[in-house]
Amino acid sequence: MTTRAESAPAPPSAASTVPQPLGRSSRSERHQPEIQGLRALAVLLVVGYHFWPEHLTGGYVGVDVFFVISGYLITAHLFREAARTGRIRLGQFWARRIRRLLPLSLLVLGVTAVAAVMILPSTEWQSTRRQITASVLYVQNWVLADDAIDYSKADERATAVQHFWSLSVEEQFYVLWPVLLAVVLGLAVLTRRVRRPAEGAGVPREHTRAIFLWVIGLLGAGSLAFSIYYTANAAAQAYFVTPTRIWEFALGALLALVLGASQFTGRRANLLGWVGLIMILGSAWVYSELTPFPGWTALIPTLGATLLLACGGKAPGTGIHWWLSLRPFTAIGDWSYAIYLWHWPVVIFAPYLVETADQWELKLALILGVVLLSALSTRYYEAPLRRAKLLLPTWRTMVAAGLGMALVVGIAHYSVERVEREFTASDLSEDHPCYGYRALANPDQCGAPFEGSLGLAPAAAEVAEQPQEPVYPGCQAEADDDGVPECWLGAEESEAEGVVAVFGDSHATMWLPALDEIAQEAGKRLLVLTRSSCTPRAATFVEAPDPCGEANLEILDRLAADEEVETIVIAASQMMGGFEGPDVEVDLPASEVELTDQGRSVITPIQVWLEAEKEVVVLGEVPRLNLERNATETLPECVALNEEDLAACHDDLQDTRVSERWLTRSAEIFTEAENYHFVSTEDLLCSQEEDTCYAVLGGAITYNDNSHVSQNFVRSATDELAERIEPALRG
């Protein structure tokens, strides 16, 4: 996203003076209204995509159009200055950028910081504050890229300032681009002094153009190659990082340098302009979240934008630039920066304020409101500050920018800290005799198990942060890790007798606070062999790389052969898929359970280890709460929104059983196996009599999302789990 631009590079005339099919005309240096129209098109695509992502699935390409425009205008401005003066005044350039961009962006961030604690559930405050700080510093894109590779943050909700990632890319471009060109120009001047001292220090205009073309061309080509490579190998991060986007700015920059003060006009040029429009709109319509982007696919909308900048006509009715220059389009273009800033917080906040936020009529009303707010804030806030004489000296601009940034960060920090203190006030602790699972186990002593008369401990916001703050960092392998990373907990090796192994996915990892304590009490070492998003199975994918399946097969053999391993605990999510029948053939006990290929793959490790005379503990799958709300609302968020009516977040027991639950059904298959131990987990969280699974038990929020039991609740159930697992340890 860009703001309203610097004056355009000596733009070409509205129509060629000589009527040629593809003419090239020159015009005096002045504003190009069609660029504002192109901005309008870009911002409307982005807004349409954010309000109707299921219809305009590729509207995100509007951001790429903005990048091309920025590269075109900024490079043209810098080239003119370099050609005219032989240097680039970095301080003045940055001051102009600050006066154009920061006032409105800081206003939106400040308003969003205050609105977030008033509108959003407490579970969203910390992430919003964190990203507001990143946005103020214009490193939001790097924060999101880092989050994209962090498994614990993979399901985080988009914050109200997430759209600042593109502004961060732009700001980094504004900082680094003129420095690069200034260095190149300085080297060119120095070289010319050495080679031709008699001709002075200046560099001829065409020589400057040639140098810029070579440097920008090579940089753009390298960035495009990296973008294609990185998008193919790490798409989530590639979308956000700056190096994958530099070539888009370079595309506009090369156009400005090649065309100079001219533009292609005439019938053929106008046709090419329409082709450019079709390329942009076609991308917005056809692309989706599944499209590898930015990579080579970004060439289509960016080349379309380049064609629209380079080619067109002004003939009424048929000229593409005539349409883009119409007042409605140029007005939207004038407000495009403000529209981009304001619209996304509205998208995020609206569902919390209005139940009908997903209706077309309301969305149209919200968009009109955003346009009106943008027009007013542009005219009465951004424009006056940009022209304020008080800020014209470069040093004053820099000081004002620093103070403004510090103020917004302070507002974001203070607003969250102050309101959080009110939400976290509670006399409850995990040692309370009716805390967590103990409330369900002792109804006579504790009363209704879901009543939180003493408050919540910890608060919903803290519980929501647990996936980002694991109790045992590094103890869970990532899905794509090669080999079998291991982690040791439990008793010290010098004092331990025997080993307990834990095998499974993140739903096994979540029980580690209890299993660690149980192993220590039993004098056992605890070998953790868990992997995120990796069902414990004896099968590998047939047609795709499968580090998970290969590691599982290695674990299968290793634990069977290791005499020190006495007990193996298996746990997994209900949700599984992608694999078929087992790679290991074993004779399973006869039973009335009709096993699918997936079922046999999950059951096989149990049989292998039973035959190896291991004690096998199978934890039943935990209930999966509110499956229909998983995509839009986590359990802590539901609790934060319904602290006066916690029952609104409970779920019917039968509705939480969303799959075949092969680990639970293994109890029917191994009924005769003496060293098989099934441990139910449903009754730790649900009441069979009430047919209810609880969101809160004894003041403890039961889940930190919708399927992973919270750390605090696991600790409350440790004594009960120890009692249930004890026969396996004794055996």
Supply the DSSP symbol for 483: S
Write down the domain spans for the chain: 23-416, 470-635+653-690+714-730
Question: Cα–Cα distance between 616 and 610 in angstroms, integer?
Answer: 7
Cβ atoms of residues 25 and 16 within 8 Å: yes
Give residue 119's identity as a one-letter amino acid code: I
pLDDT at 153 over 90: no
The SS3 call for residue 531 is strand
Sign for the CA dihedral angle at 264, 267, 268, 270 comes to positive
- What tokens appear for 38 in the block? 């192109």
- What tokens appear for 227 in the block? 């973008």
Cα dihedral angle (661, 664, 667, 673), rounded to 10 degrees? 100
Tokens 């890319």 belong to 169
- What tokens appear for 533 in the block? 């998003």
Listed residue (631, 641, 490) closest to 567, CA to CA: 490
The confidence band for 126, taking pLDDT boundaries of 50, 70 and 90, is confident
The confidence band for 293, taking pLDDT boundaries of 50, 70 and 90, is very high
Tokens 């006990």 belong to 589
Question: Cα–Cα distance between 589 and 570 in angstroms, integer?
Answer: 19
Sign for the CA dihedral angle at 49, 52, 54, 56 comes to negative
Cβ atoms of residues 307 and 272 within 8 Å: yes
Q: Would you state the pLDDT for residue 543?
A: 77
pLDDT at 10 over 50: no
Higher pLDDT, 642 or 51: 51
C-beta neighbour count of 377 within 10 angstroms: 21
Cβ atoms of residues 664 and 624 within 8 Å: no
The C-alpha R_g of the chain, in whole angstroms, comes to: 31
Residue 503's DSSP bridge partners are 529, 570
- What tokens appear for 209 in the block? 């153009």
Sign for the CA dihedral angle at 167, 168, 169, 172 comes to positive
Q: Would you state the pLDDT for residue 14?
A: 33
Higher pLDDT, 277 or 460: 277
Question: Cα–Cα distance between 311 and 70 in angstroms, integer?
Answer: 17
Q: Would you state the pLDDT for residue 611?
A: 94
Give the pLDDT confidence of 644-660 residue by residue, as tens digits: 888 899 999 999 999 99
Most confident of 185-189, 377-381, 430-434: 377-381
Lowest mean pLDDT among 205-209, 439-443, 647-651: 205-209
Q: Would you state the pLDDT for residue 544?
A: 81
pLDDT at 156 over 70: no
- What tokens appear for 202 in the block? 């200046």
Percent of the chain scoring above 70 in pLDDT: 90
Listed residue (483, 527, 524, 521) closest to 508, CA to CA: 527
Q: Which residues contact 186 (CB under 8 A, 6 or more apart)?
A: 87
Question: Cα–Cα distance between 534 and 577 in angstroms, integer?
Answer: 10
pLDDT at 559 over 80: yes
Q: Would you state the pLDDT for residue 186?
A: 84
- What tokens appear for 572 in the block? 């997994």
Fold of the domain built from segment(s) 470-635+653-690+714-730: Rossmann fold (3.40.50)
